[in-house]
Amino acid sequence: ASPASPALLQLAAAAESGTCHPLAAAIQQEAQKQGLSIPVASEFHTEPGLGISAVVAGERVLLGNCEWLTGQGISPSETAQAQALALSTAGKTVVYVAVDGKLVGLIAVMDTLRTEASTAVDRLRQMGLRVMLLTGDRIEAARAIADNLGLNYDDILAGVSPKGKAAAIQGLQSQNYNVAMVGDGINDAPALAQADVGIALQAGTDVAMETASIVLMRTQLTDAVVAIELSRATFNKIRQNLFWAFAYNVCGIPIAAGVLLPISGFVLNPAAAGALMAFSSVSVVTNSLLLRRLKK
């Protein structure tokens, strides 16, 4: 979080104690880092992707984006909007803080990229996949992240609500794209449910993990790449097993039935035929076990 007055940070941390959003965690961590006592809050109300409100020391505290506060009848001044734009351009997420209907300050949170994020994006691209960024942040902050990841601005969808993320994925699906979504927050749940494959991180919210098709047992983004590689390798093994089992039976069944008897006098006794059929199953299982050699 950016430097903020202790009183402002205390109010924000108290209001955010009712949610497990990453922004809430950042604000609370900063308050604890400064050794501030966090007041007790009550009457929490959350608008997914927009903001949160709570009563702290008898005052109604609202934290959220500019659009949500404007909808609540709170109009940020031009000075505040200019400051927010400058912070967003620097790649920071801006949280507006209002008390009893009046804007009292801004808190900027810098979204630090995971160390493996760039590697994960590069590996996905090498696999021939298109990588896009869906975020509720402003376009300026999203572009700063995209620059660090090497993403094209055309592959950014910023300022979207949780329902908007799901709608964006639905739009891609209508263009005959198969979409996989990686997320970890409650705001990602609708998109995870809409995607053809939803991938949640183990450290994510319960809602995200319950909605996703795949839950990664670590918080490493590169594990999503491994999951896709394993899926592709599994399908390749299935195709190989079907081909060789079919070819084996096409050749083996006529021989077991005595097709070579009129030609060469060769006939396969029942015991040998049974052994060869068992060998067919063993070869399929052995080929499948080679998946264990897949490098992580």
CATH class belonging to 6-110: alpha beta
Under 8 Å between Cβ of 121 and 149? yes
**Neighbouring residues of 293: CB distance < 8 A, sequence distance ≥ 6:** none
Rounded-to-integer distance, Cα 296 and Cα 292, Å: 10
CA pair distance 158, 151, nearest whole angstrom: 13
Cα–Cα distance, 199 to 220 (Å, whole number): 12
Average pLDDT over residues 39-46: 87
Tokens of 176: 């005959």
Domain boundaries, the chain: 6-110, 117-225, 226-293
What percent of the chain has a predicted confidence (pLDDT) above 90? 23
pTM reported for the whole predicted model = 0.69
Q: Determine contact, residues 136/126, Cβ cutoff 8 Å.
A: no
The residues pairing with 183 across neighbouring beta strands, listed in sequence order, are 200
Cβ–Cβ < 8 Å for 16, 44: no
Of all residues in the chain, the percent with pLDDT exceeding 70 is 96
pLDDT in tens, 108-166: 887 778 888 999 999 999 999 999 999 888 888 888 888 888 899 999 998 888 889 99
CB atoms within 10 A of CB 107: 25
Which amino acid, one-letter code, is at 24? A
Domain covering 117-225: architecture: 3-Layer(aba) Sandwich (3.40)
- Count other C-beta atoms under 10 Å from residue 164's C-beta: 16
224, HSE (Cβ side, Cα atoms, 13 Å)? 28
Greater pLDDT, 133 or 26? 133
Task: Give me the pLDDT at residue 205, please.
Answer: 64
Residue ranges with strand state E in 18-140: 41-47, 51-56, 59-64, 92-99, 102-110, 133-134
- Top-confidence range, 60-74, 166-180, 204-218: 166-180
Would you state the pLDDT for residue 2? 46
- Tokens representing 98? 């209002």
**117-225 matches 6-110 in CATH topology:** no
Which of 62-76, 104-118, 225-239 is predicted most confidently? 225-239
